[in-house]
Amino acid sequence: MDEGTAVEKTGGMGEVRKQLYLAGPLIVAWLLQNSVRIISLMFVGHLGELALSSASMATSFASVTGFSLLLGMASSLDTLCGQAFGAKQHHLLGIYKQRAILVLTLVSIGLAVVWWYTGKILLLFGQDPEIAAGAGSYIRWMIPALFVYGPLQCHFRFLQAQNIVLPVMLSSGVTAVSHVLVCWLLVYKIGLGYKGAALACAISYLINVSILSIYVRLAPACENTRRGFSKEAFHGIPTFLRLAVPSALMVCLEWWSFEILVILSGLLPNPKLATSVLSILLNTSTLAFMIPFGLSAAISTRVSNELGAGRPQAARLATRVVMVLAIAIGILVGLAMVLVRNLWGYAYSNEAEVVKHISKMMPILAVSFLFDCLQCVLSGIARGCGWQKIGACVNLGAYYMIGIPAAFCLAFLDHLGVMGLLLGMICALVVQMLLLLAITLCSNWEKEALKTKDRIFSSSLPDMMT
């Protein structure tokens, strides 16, 4: 029985079950992991307006300059570990993980230097001196989190590539619950104030990565993929960077564009209202985005595993199934946004004007979410195939040549305000989605399977020689 016949026999429903099995725990894991910094901000919010403003600015700066970069670089393991696991080259997964941790630690040293001077950097951009000084102090206490966040993301990808997702979800749950206790101890009991909330992030990330490290060390499921320290981790770093840098750009170019929107909203008439409305909309979008993000991680694993195993038809089926799931999720969540549009604003504000604007914008956000769902899973397919360079170019063109210029023109020249900013981002999402869709539909999956085989074989050579 050939591969095409086998795929037909298993059918689309089997693929749906596989993807949902992976996506469900990953969605919960990402929500819980992102809650760590949010919980810290909640504790800071009870310490005063200046403390909250400083911590919010520091958290945003940390996300843009540090966490997004580390997250993006670690996502290169979606390709490397996923394809190696599919090809049953289990020894490579441990080497890839060690190599990624080494590189991300070195990158974190450079990022730590930037974070140390955050206060001065914010002053150069014209921020309020008191807020800039408070943000600089807060982010300095977050520096230890940098050196834990990178290894944490590497462990996530290492386990995800092996379809081991329940421990990832459970460890994130334990971390989120313990983070509340850690914050209380540091902020109130020990008396570190808002600095304690920053340090708590590092401690909680350390708890998370420790749990995963112990699991990898002891679990029978990782018996073939874990390995002790290997000198091979120091080899092939330039090859790793050729994939990791475009991976980081894929994430950062998209992430940074939304931060630019927030900056532009501050230049609109009535900037307090505009910034508040846009922040609520982006916060809502980020919360909903965790659903397709989990699905994106699942399809990245499925595609990389199947290509590594030399089953291109199964990889093609997985891409078709995930696009159907993305459309279904986009429509359902979009409808939910429309239905709650008149109430959602009250979750964030009691100001009637803010609630009115949120109600007006929610249908537009619902449309953008549909395109966001599709582009997100298509980006996951790109990571599974190793198309990060193409993805980075697509994101650069979609967001910085189309989206941001369109948002500026619609918001300021056509006087559409926040609606113009949102419509500009929809333009970017549509272009991004269409380009990635065209690349996916035009792909020769047999050739992609051969490229995967070449990538894995070239990585295995040094180890085989040893």
Q: What is the pLDDT of residues 130-183, one digit of tens each?
A: 888 888 998 999 999 999 999 999 999 999 999 999 999 999 999 999 999 999
Of residues 394 and 288, which shows the higher confidence score?
A: 394
Q: What is the CA angle 332-18-458, rounded to 5? A: 120
Please, which contacts does 404-410 make with residues 24 or more away whose CB atoms are closer than 8 Å? 404/257, 404/260, 404/261, 404/428, 407/261, 407/264, 408/264
Which residue matches tokens 């020769």? Answer: 444
Of 36-40, 78-82, 259-263, 350-354, the range with the highest mean pLDDT is 78-82
Burial class of residue 393 (count of CB atoms within 10 Å of its CB; 0-12, 13-18, 19+): middle
Q: What is the CA radius of gyration of the chain?
A: 22
pLDDT band at 47 (very low <50, low <70, confident <90, very high): confident
For residue 353, what are the domain limits? 250-466
Nearest to 91 by CA among 229, 226, 236: 226
| 49 in the same domain as 83 | yes
386 touches 447 (CB < 8 A): no
Percentage of residues of the chain with pLDDT beyond 90: 48
Q: What is the pLDDT of residue 1?
A: 45
pLDDT of 206 > 90? The answer is yes
Q: How many domains does the chain have?
A: 2
**Is 99 a member of any domain?**
yes
370 touches 376 (CB < 8 A): no
| 198 in the same domain as 166 | yes
pLDDT of 281 > 90? The answer is no
| 346 in the same domain as 197 | no
Report the half-sphere exposure of 267 (CA within 13 A, side-chain side): 12
Q: What is the pLDDT of residue 10?
A: 53
Reduced to 3 DSSP states, what percent helix, strand and coil does the chain have, rounded to the nearest 5?
85, 0, 15
| 259 in the same domain as 231 | no
The DSSP result for 74-99, as a single string, is HTHHHHHHHHHHHTT-HHHHHHHHHH
**Is 7 a member of any domain?**
no
pLDDT tens sequence across 358-381: 888 889 889 989 999 999 999 999
**CB-based contacts of 284: which residues, under 8 Å, 6+ apart?**
337, 344, 365
pLDDT of 416 > 90? The answer is no
| 458 in the same domain as 355 | yes
| 278 in the same domain as 211 | no
**Is 17 a member of any domain?**
no
pLDDT tens sequence across 91-133: 889 999 999 999 999 999 999 999 999 989 888 877 778 888 8
CA 297 to chain centroid = 9
Q: What is the pLDDT of residue 277?
A: 77
Q: Which of 179, 202, 235 is the endpoint of a domain?
A: 235
Mean pLDDT over 186-195 rounds to: 88
Q: Which of 235, 270, 304 is the endpoint of a domain?
A: 235
Cα distances (angstroms) measured from residue 158 to each of 77, 85, 240, 464: 7, 10, 15, 22
**Is 371 a member of any domain?**
yes
Classified as helix, coil or strand, 190 is: coil
**Is 9 a member of any domain?**
no
Q: Which of 235, 259, 292 is the endpoint of a domain?
A: 235
| 419 in the same domain as 337 | yes
In single-letter form, the type of residue at position 219 comes to A
Q: What is the pLDDT of residue 7?
A: 53
Nearest to 265 by CA among 410, 366, 126: 410
| 230 in the same domain as 294 | no
Burial class of residue 464 (count of CB atoms within 10 Å of its CB; 0-12, 13-18, 19+): exposed
| 300 in the same domain as 153 | no
Q: How far apart are CA 216 and CA 155, in angstroms?
A: 9
Q: How far apart are CA 289 and CA 178, in angstroms?
A: 25
Nearest to 22 by CA among 369, 306, 249, 336: 306
Of residues 397 and 463, which shows the higher confidence score?
A: 397
**Is 13 a member of any domain?**
no
Q: How far apart are CA 402 and CA 413, in angstroms?
A: 16
| 65 in the same domain as 155 | yes
pLDDT band at 11 (very low <50, low <70, confident <90, very high): low
**Is 18 a member of any domain?**
no
pLDDT of 348 > 50? The answer is yes
Of 201-205, 360-364, 410-414, 453-457, the range with the highest mean pLDDT is 201-205
Nearest to 226 by CA among 96, 79, 78, 87: 96
Chain-wide mean pLDDT for the chain?
87
Indicate the pTM of the whole model. 0.87
Q: What is the pLDDT of residue 14?
A: 85
pLDDT of 184 > 90? The answer is yes
| 255 in the same domain as 180 | no
In single-letter form, the type of residue at position 133 comes to A
Cα distances (angstroms) measured from residue 3 to each of 265, 309, 316: 53, 11, 12
Sign of CA dihedral 250, 253, 255, 261: negative
pLDDT of 465 > 50? The answer is no
**Is 208 a member of any domain?**
yes
**Helix locations, 87-193, DSSP H:** 90-116, 118-124, 129-140, 143-160, 166-184
| 69 in the same domain as 168 | yes
